[in-house]
Structure 1
């Protein structure tokens, strides 16, 4: 599948969205399988970062979630702003990093790795100025505060949505 489709539609990103929808509808195993297949079929860092980011949320164990979160961050390091903007003109890699680091901070926290959690939380907070001041930005900022409070309390329990 093309990295820059001529019809303006990115079939892989559409397939990722469909798999995520499948997971949200309750078929988490099917969604994981679909995302794993997409992962195996792409070398595009935008696709792989997106796949890993969403796959992490569908995992049954924190260890598997952490593995996918680490993959998402690694793929973001390969991603250029140009490639990100070819999908969405408003995207820049730096604005994606707080979410990726926040997910890693929370997974490390739940794994009992407070030092790693604090390192990723600090990285997330350091780039918050790149996150838009909208509902997404509010979600990330509130999430960072919730992870910080859970870390300060020594909690390894999942955060309530």
Structure 2
């Protein structure tokens, strides 16, 4: 094979010749190794309680709908939030948060996951006047685990 690249072979060349002189300044960002982002699917189960006399399964259902709407609002603003979802046990006052988070490490994904869950809960105004107040129970450390699509 010839070291010269024919004009019609240039498109199919595996290793085209390098230019003799630099064509312009080098962008420092091109020299950095970029972190590989991947989607980490996480789930967290949280239990809530309320001592409000207006507490009911219907009130908790309205609350979970508001939280889910806020998760969807966050997803609309951040492409790194993937397929947020939640399931609720109304009688037990439990919510399972499920969400994919785009991050370079699972630790970073967990931090972003928790920040987004906290933001959704805050935006749902858990203590809005006229609504029962729901607060997470005092678990020392909520269990967050990686899940596969079949587990969701």
Tell me, yes or no, whether TM beats 0.5.
no
Identify the structure with the greater strand proportion. 2
- TM-score scaled by structure 1? 0.23
- TM-score scaled by structure 2? 0.24
Larger Rg: 2
Structure number with the bigger relative contact order (C-alpha 8 A, sep ≥ 6) is 2
